[in-house]
Amino acid sequence: MKHGSRSGSPRHAVSLAHRVAGSVLREGDLAVDATAGNGHDTVFLARAVGAAGKVFAIDLQSAAIEATRARLDAEGLSGRVVLRRGGHERLGTLLNEVDPGRVTVVMLNLGYLPGGDKTRITRPATTLSGLNEALRLLAPGGVLTVVCYPGHPGGGEEAREVRAWASALDAEPFRTFEDGATGRSKTAPFLVAVKKNPDS
């Protein structure tokens, strides 16, 4: 995927996800990167939670886990991150030592592994399962961010399913947000974010 700086580009959507997540993260927090990819979100989270915090980074592809490990090693952040191989639909099983309601931020960056096999993509059924697992893990005041990529084959359907899922959430415990970049094309990446009510 090409990365640019204009509104509606992958860089814009990911930067916005980082800003939303960073607004709630504090030193010592627990965070999850449910689609580690090449480790960019994992590094962001590891810096944000500090030496006292912990990040779980998950990906189905071993190439993604190794790329994330290498990036963390290069940044000196490996001690803050636990890497797990598996699909995001298995968050609850992969993080069975984490009590529900303890995680401050869960991030998902959908699509395919940049630089990898473009036919290996995230899919609606497993993504929706992962999103439901993520909500179960979120602490009061916690945030879930989902960057959707409707521009590749299969991505449009997944993006529509994520939007519909977010729209159907009960407004009382959750508040949803979608990046409404002006002039964004229908195939441009966008962010969907969900914040759990602090009083939930």
Domains of the chain (ranges, CATH numbers) = 10-196 (3.40.50.150)
How many other CB atoms sit within 10 Å of the CB of residue 154?
17
Instruction: Place 163 in a pLDDT band, splitting at 50, 70 and 90.
Output: very high
Predicted confidence at residue 180, as pLDDT, reads 64
The secondary structure of 79-140 as a DSSP string is GGEEEEES-GGGHHHHTTTSPTT-EEEEEEE-SB-TTS-TT-B--HHHHHHHHHHHHHHEEE
Residues 37 and 78: their CA atoms lie apart, in Å, by 16
DSSP label of 146: E
Predicted confidence at residue 60, as pLDDT, reads 94
How many other CB atoms sit within 10 Å of the CB of residue 172?
9
Predicted confidence at residue 27, as pLDDT, reads 97
Instruction: Place 11 in a pLDDT band, splitting at 50, 70 and 90.
Output: confident
Predicted confidence at residue 2, as pLDDT, reads 25
Predicted confidence at residue 9, as pLDDT, reads 59
- The model's pTM is 0.92
64-67: which pairs have CB atoms within 8 A and are 24 or more residues apart?
64/36, 64/37, 64/38, 64/39, 64/113, 64/116, 65/36, 67/37, 67/38, 67/39
Backbone angles phi, psi at 23, to 5 degrees: -70, -20
Is the model's pLDDT at 28 over the cut of 90? yes
Residues 125 and 67: their CA atoms lie apart, in Å, by 26
Predicted confidence at residue 183, as pLDDT, reads 60
92-114: pLDDT as tens digits: 999 999 999 999 999 999 998 88
Percent of the chain scoring above 70 in pLDDT: 93
Residue pair 91/34 in contact by the 8 Å Cβ criterion: yes
Residues 130 and 135: their CA atoms lie apart, in Å, by 9
pLDDT average, residue stretch 116-131: 90
